[in-house]
Amino acid sequence: MSFTSDHKVLVQGITGALGVLYAPLMKAYGTQVVAGVAPGHGGQRVADIPVFDLVEQALGAVGKVDTTVIFVEPYRVLDAALEAIAAEIRQIVLITEGVPPLDMVRLARKADRVETLIVGPDSPGIIVPGQVLLGTHPPEFYTPGSVGLLSRSGTLTYEVALQLTQAGLGQSIAVGIGGDRIVGSSFQQWLQILEEDDQTDVIVLVGEIGGDSEETAARYIAEAIDKPVIAYIAGRTAPKNQPMGHAGAIIASLVAGWGTEVGTADSKIAAFKEAGIPVADRPSQISDLVKKALSSM
């Protein structure tokens, strides 16, 4: 799995508020945004990007597309993504927040059957510094390098990237896997992608409270990942009597032997430490832990 400046990119929902704002920024960064799709707006142009009514029409005009970035309203995401899958676009980035969970279940099942990578929803997307911007990452915070950054958060991802950049630690890629309850691709999938990526030497995983994705990722890292991983968990100061996870995660935690505290910062930190993964107490510590990991390689 790779994302480079050679990839052709489609923007669905390009005439909406976010599409109009971010499609030109993606193009200005060097991303090959070859077309946009917005039903009823065919024939228009956004930042000199041609707009079509349908994905099929766009591909008929510009040829094969590698990735689509979707900015449409939550209830339109499923149809937009299925339209892209039908057009054999195999990398889909969902920026939209609040996609109906059952829509995501259906989309994830379809994507799995046809080997399509879904990033998001509720994601800032992907940036490969110096190569390609697929979403809303502020590119001035990033610089090319060898640190792979995976995160559930949006703005915290940018903060961590900026601190890495200021410490002289460039990034090979930064991926926001998404903050919605159901997301298309997991920490495990991206950990495996970065494990096999020649440009990535060390991985930074930024998690947050709620759910069990970090606990699951910690076990996966211990079993399958050889590259050094540094973790940070946001939300340590959230009140412990405030339920942040969901019933499925709690049940899964009991089955796995994690206890009833799954979803809390303490549970996630304990899981990473048990797997031998250094955990930063605050974002400013991440750079020092990364430097330590790189110096020991």
- The tens digit of pLDDT for each residue in 36-69 reads 999 999 999 999 999 999 999 999 999 999 999 9
**Region(s) of the chain under CATH 3.40.50.261:** 138-295
Asked about 246 being catalytic, the answer comes back as yes
pTM: 0.91
**CA nearest neighbour of 291 among 174, 190, 194, 163:** 163
> Phi and psi for 132 in degrees, rounded to 5?
-155, 140
Measured between alpha carbons, how far is 141 from 175 in angstroms, rounded to an integer? 14
Which residue do the tokens 């190569």 mark?
Answer: 131
Superfamily (CATH H level) for 138-295: Succinyl-CoA synthetase domains (3.40.50.261)
Kindly state the average pLDDT of the residues 158-178: 97
The full length of the chain comes to 297
Which residue do the tokens 């412990």 mark?
Answer: 240
DSSP 141: G
**Region(s) of the chain under CATH 3.40.50.720:** 8-119
Mean pLDDT, the chain, whole residue set = 92
Assigned CATH topology for domain 8-119:
Rossmann fold (3.40.50)
Task: Supply the pLDDT for residue 239.
Answer: 52
Ramachandran area for residue 43 (φ above 0: left; ψ -120 to 50: alpha; else beta): left
- The tens digit of pLDDT for each residue in 263-279 reads 789 999 999 999 999 99
DSSP 225: -
Distance (Å) of CA 51 to CA 33, 34, 42, 55, 175: 11, 9, 5, 10, 27
Kindly state the average pLDDT of the residues 136-141: 98
